Amino acid sequence: MMTESREHKMRAFFNSRFVKGEKRRSHRLAFVLFWSILMYLFFSHFVISVGIIRETSMVPTVPEDGYYLVNRYIYYVTRPKRGDIVVLRQNAHTPEILKRVVGLEGETLLIKGGHVYIDGRRLDEPYALGGTYPDFGPHAIKKDTYFILGDNRKVSKDSRHFGTVPFQNIEGKIKPGVIFPLY
């Protein structure tokens, strides 16, 4: 059971007159606002961010004009794997694009007769819409670079047009249909 003086002090602390009259209130609000903005910038740059798909190169896997969450921290602890859908930039002045990793560093890629071959073995691509044309390669993928293709191969501008993508240009990974892509 609380004593009357202690109960009176607790009421005084939560009293609206006490909070409104506090001189440090604006400083506390500025402190909270500053740290909130700082945490937002940190999380959106290094952990997770939201993107909008403005291209048709990944249809039907990822529909056009959809939203997606980009897992930005995954490639700080691991490397891209074949089949990953990655968000990347060709350079600092281009918008983000969405493509699928097909060829990994150290492999030899060949596109012939509408099919993709990795080190002489045909790659099974159930996600690809149509064949992969024109014929390309053989192309040896260098260290720290990746060969990327869109799923809608007829309209996709990808590594067939601008070459392999350096690892530092890959900004993150998405998983279509997954609300919060943590892996």
Residues labelled catalytic: 57, 99
Cα gap 61→150, rounded to integer Å: 10
Q: How many angstroms separate the CA atoms of 33 and 119, rounded?
A: 54
Q: Tokens for 118? A: 């990795």
- Cβ atoms 128, 57 nearer than 8 A: no
Number of residues that this document lists for the chain = 183
Alpha-carbon span 35 to 18, nearest angstrom: 25
DSSP state, residue 164: -
DSSP secondary structure string for all residues of 80-149: --TT-EEEE-SSTTS--EEEEEEE-TT-EEEEETBEEEETTEEPP-TT-BS-B-S-EEEEEPPTTEEEEE
83: left (phi over 0), alpha (psi -120 to 50) or beta: left
